[in-house]
Amino acid sequence: MSDQPQPTGTASNPVIPGFHPDPSVCRVGDDYYLVCSSFEYFPGIPVFHSRDLVNWTQIGNALDRPSQLHLAPEVPSSAGIYAPTLRHHDGRFWLIVTIVGGGGNVIVTATDPAGPWSDPVPAPGVPGIDPDLAWDEDGTCWCTVAGVSQVRLDPTTGETFGEPRRIWSGTGGKAPEAPHLYRIGAYWYLLIAEGGTERGHGVSIARGSTPTGPFEPCPDNPVLTHRSTDRPIQNTGHADLVQAPDGSWWMVLLGVRPRGGTPGWHVLGRETFLAPVEWVDGWPVVGPLTTELPTPAWPLYPAAAVPSRDDFEQAELHPQWISVRERPEQLCTTKERSGWLTLRAAGASLDENDAVFVGRRQQHLVCRARTLIDPADGRGGLAVRLDEEHHYEIEAADGRVAVIARIGSVRAEVASRPVPPGPVVLGVDIDPLTPRDARGGPDALSFGIEDADGTFTALATLEGRYLSTEVAGGFTGRVIGMYAAAGTIHFDRFDYEPQPSS
């Protein structure tokens, strides 16, 4: 990250685009740190750093070792890592999270948020999902979970004391969840999400004189929701509050950007947005949440650029790269062939839960990806994945390439052509549909091959709605990457580039 501040003005919202849901944030001095859910992907829990709340750099993943996170093939997509809470207390970073299908609620700690993080400490007495940590004045730690209930906790051992106790659970909307408890001024505030994580999502708040309540609800709840509006950001909820050094307050939250006709499809997953907060009569008032963000009244520090091209010349993969459930070194390495990523197949296709896949989140509505693949010793390719039943790919093997679509229970090869022996550049272009197709889905995905002169030849163009949450369900977003389906496959490079949206 650059140390030279930039002028203030406006910035784009989301501040962390792509599949980065359930943000939790804390500030230490002039630095902000943020974590998100990662569900069935490994490594788990991306960790970001910022000096201005607007520009974020991924500095690691909290669960990046198999000893910390083991997701068996039986763990379904959209299970795994749910809703971490990140806090800084007594000189240490504390992170509590639910591993659905893989250990329940656990706690990890670090002195440096870039890692290493500790092995998980189980907290079996903490019920449910979306756990939060808050310390009162005498050092007692309170854990509040979706529902909403609360229990006293020793975060160093995971031991709980007494039975969980139900506390304020919102205004009556479904799925009260994502609780965060804060001491602000004379009150303890309990911030929650309710209404479900779809179009009815919203943020509500209550306050009390003690961390255990009783809690008085805000008379203007929900303090944030975009339900029943035509605003470009929808599903707004699962928020966290942070105070800047100048005393101003801000909210990070998740939202989506649906496109296309009714009902609207979002394909990037739930993204992290930022909104200003003012306090009026002891209650937070959330400022306008739009795709153009009025930036804070302090200098901006550009995030460290993520290279658009990875030549796989480093011994370890960049923290942006994720795999499905696990990444055994014997199946994924940059050390076997210098400057190449080598993948060895386990599952026979991306339909399988043990597929060998290395990808990065799609973060732009219009983009393109390319990879140079050597399929001489196997079969594999370039894929856009939502889950095992919703993915498109272009696959190379035996002197031919083929475009494959998996939609629900249907799997089909939709196009193919022969190619000369040797490495081949596979690509996908993701573009919005033309206005005449606006009654349809959000975008179109064109899969093809690229010649030595850079000419891209599309073999097939597939509609994007089938790789959307509104069709597939679940809690994730698209991930674009490389996979092996048989034998051993080598990838010389991977390019991902956003494209103009006009």
The residues annotated as belonging to the active site are 22, 177
Q: Which amino acid is present at 95?
A: L
Q: Which residue has the tokens 């949450």?
A: 469
What would the two tokens of residue 284 be?
Answer: 């937070």
What would the two tokens of residue 249 be?
Answer: 């307050």
DSSP tag of 467? G
Q: Which residue has the tokens 């607007």?
A: 54
Q: Which amino acid is present at 271?
A: E
DSSP line for 262-328: TT-B--S-SEEEEEEEEEETTEEEE----SEEEPPSS-B-PPPPPPSEE---SSS--TT-BEES---
Q: Quick one: how far is CA 275 from the chain centroid? A: 18
Q: Which residues contact 226 (CB under 8 A, 6 or more apart)?
A: 233, 234, 235, 236, 255, 289
List C-alpha distances in Å: 341 to 327, 425, 427, 498: 13, 14, 17, 23
Question: Torsion angle, CA of 471/384/375/455, rounded to 10 degrees?
Answer: 120
Q: What SS3 class is residue 480?
A: strand
CA distance 407 to 404: 10
DSSP line for 326-346: ---TTTEESSSSTT-EEEE-S
Q: Quick one: how far is CA 45 from the chain centroid? A: 8
